[in-house]
Amino acid sequence: MPLYTYQAISQDRACGNCVLPFDVMQKLADERLLACPECGHPVKKIITAVHLNTGTTGSPSSTLSEKNIAKNGFTQYRKVAKGHYEKTAGKGPDTISADD
Ligand SMILES: [Zn+2]
């Protein structure tokens, strides 16, 4: 079932549940949520990035950590200058240069 993210339209009178974005599992056919299930405050649907299932749990920052990137077989480069990149994680050449 897809996961939808909602958040209170305004922060005024929003409860602890809806003051921050919260996820709701809904069928595609379900009506979109119009009010917070906890306090009834009007909520809006938030478009979020697709949840990447890498088999790990944790915050996106830990999922995208250099250790995790390498563990999952990805390579990450950091731009150090125009046309020059330095490897920060994974396999591959240590540097990439547009002049090579
Ligand atoms: Zn609420």
Distance 22 CA to ligand 1 centre (A): 10
- Residue 14 vs residues 6, 33, 67, 82: alpha-carbon distances, Å: 12, 15, 38, 47
Residues around ligand 1, an ion, CB closer than 5 A: 15, 17-18, 36, 38-39, 41
pLDDT, tens digit, 9 for 90 and up, residues 43-84: 999 977 665 565 555 566 667 788 887 888 888 888 999 999
Percent of all residues in the chain with a pLDDT value above 70, rounded to a whole number: 83
Burial zone of 64 (CB within 10 Å; 0-12 exposed, 13-18 middle, 19+ buried) = middle
The pLDDT, as a whole number, for residue 37 is 93
The 8-class DSSP code of residue 66 comes to: H
Identify which has the larger pLDDT, 64 or 31: 31
**Distance in angstroms (rounded) separating the CA atoms of residues 82 and 79:** 7
Q: Where are the domains of the chain?
A: 1-48, 64-97
Mean pLDDT of the chain: 85
Strand partners, 35: 42
